Structure 1
Amino acid sequence: MKLILTSEVSGLGAPGDVVTVKDGYGRNYLLPRGYAIKWTRGGEKQIATIKKARSTREIRDLGTAQEVAAQLKSLRVTLKTRAGEAGRLFGSITTGDVAEAVKAAGGPDLDRRRIEITNTIKSTGSHRVSVRLHPEVSAALDIEVVAA
């Protein structure tokens, strides 16, 4: 199945890329979630607008991405949330929560879609998330989850 990506999918591509995937993956995952649209000749025209929108959101160059990565590395991010007695959270921490906490801690304004939480955060304590700043630059960010 040939698709045009409308948002970044880890391991597959960036918005505006034309990819070929297995039918089930495209039909059951990418299309329903809005990560891709079916490839057509008319859809080729949409690629230019998707790539233009991506370039305005994307960090401009490698140097800037490395500066932001250094800034994130030195940043201490504390996220306050509701938790039970044993430190177990009511719900879990989302990428949107992390983006807001980084901004509140004085860090750069991050796009929540660029933040990757590998293990679901459902307890208090120190956790590590990664942020894809540029195709060549990824930064690790330590966050401290505390009970409010």
Structure 2
Amino acid sequence: MKVLFLKDNLPTAMAGEIKEVKPGFARNFLIPQGIAELANRSSIERVEKLRKQAEVRRGEMKTKWQTVANEINLLNLEIVAQTGPTGKLFGSVTNSQIASSIEENLDGVTIDRRSIRITQPIKMIGSYKVPMKLFEGVDAEVNLLVKSDGNIMTEEMVEITEGKVETEPEITDEESPSEDLIEEKSELPSEEVEKEESAPEIESSEEE
């Protein structure tokens, strides 16, 4: 099914592009969300206008995020964590922790945790430079100092409890639901989809 993208929906397409997508992805996500519309003669004539409007919006957003990037590059963040005697952390520093720390230091700025690119898990105290991708063509690097909170745990305690720490799901570059997932779900009978979405979770109980 050919659709005209009205808004940027990375990595699938940018506003003003006409692309072939799976019918379920178009009907269940792109069109209801106002991200795209069916491509016809009328919409094709609007392509150039949409592209120009999108370029203006992207230019404005890029300028905004470049200003934020310049401020982030000057930050020196500190995150305090529980550690063992060798400086090993109880768990690791997460994208969300870094995003929250940046927001605390920059008024009126909201940071998407997916923009933070931790290349290797941060599991030791020390200084780090954490890369960020704020917008297309706009990168930043934040200085991070990880310190111990002074409550030193034994190595045995760190090893025992480390497996119990909740970790964030892996960050991917995709900013929209999977086309294959939405297409697969759309092929289910409507009753099954409704059951899948509304079925409550059942907690198991043990008999005494």
Residue 117 of structure 1 aligns to a residue whose secondary structure is: coil
**Could you say if the C-alpha distance between residues 44 and 69 of structure 1 is closer, same or farther in structure 2, counting changes exceeding 3 Å?**
same
Distance in 2 between residues matched to 1:91 and 1:135, nearest whole Å: 31
Following superposition of structure 1 onto structure 2, how do residues 112-127 of structure 1 map, counting pairs within 5 Å?
Answer: 112-127=113-128
Residue 99 (structure 1) shift: 0.8
Taking structure 2 as the reference length, the TM-score comes to 0.47
Residue 50 (structure 1) shift: 7.9
Contact 1:79 1:144 in 2 (8 A): yes
Say yes or no: does 1:111 pair with 2:124: no
Contact 1:78 1:145 in 2 (8 A): yes
Residue 61 of structure 1 aligns to a residue whose secondary structure is: helix
Larger proportion of helix: 2
Distance in 2 between residues matched to 1:130 and 1:104, nearest whole Å: 18
Say yes or no: does 1:65 pair with 2:65: yes
Say yes or no: does 1:128 pair with 2:129: yes
Contact 1:73 1:139 in 2 (8 A): yes
Following superposition of structure 1 onto structure 2, how do residues 77-88 of structure 1 map, counting pairs within 5 Å?
Answer: 77-88=77-88
**Could you say if the C-alpha distance between residues 88 and 63 of structure 1 is closer, same or farther in structure 2, counting changes exceeding 3 Å?**
same
CA deviation digits over 1:32-84, x for unaligned, max 9?
Answer: xxxxxxx63131242352859xx9xx995111111000010111110111111
Residue 104 (structure 1) shift: 2.5
Match in the other structure for 1:43: 25
**Could you say if the C-alpha distance between residues 147 and 136 of structure 1 is closer, same or farther in structure 2, counting changes exceeding 3 Å?**
same
Say yes or no: does 1:14 pair with 2:15: no
**Could you say if the C-alpha distance between residues 74 and 96 of structure 1 is closer, same or farther in structure 2, counting changes exceeding 3 Å?**
same
Which residue identity is paired with 1:40? K
Distance in 2 between residues matched to 1:50 and 1:99, nearest whole Å: 29
Residue 100 of structure 1 aligns to a residue whose secondary structure is: helix
Taking structure 1 as the reference length, the TM-score comes to 0.65
**Could you say if the C-alpha distance between residues 59 and 84 of structure 1 is closer, same or farther in structure 2, counting changes exceeding 3 Å?**
farther
The aligned length equals 111
Residue 146 (structure 1) shift: 0.5
Match in the other structure for 2:97: 97
Contact 1:126 1:145 in 2 (8 A): yes
Gaps of 5+ in 2: 1-8, 14-20, 37-53, 150-208
Contact 1:59 1:65 in 2 (8 A): no
Distance in 2 between residues matched to 1:113 and 1:50, nearest whole Å: 23
Which residue identity is paired with 1:138? D
RMSD after superposition = 2.7
Distance in 2 between residues matched to 1:14 and 1:73, nearest whole Å: 25
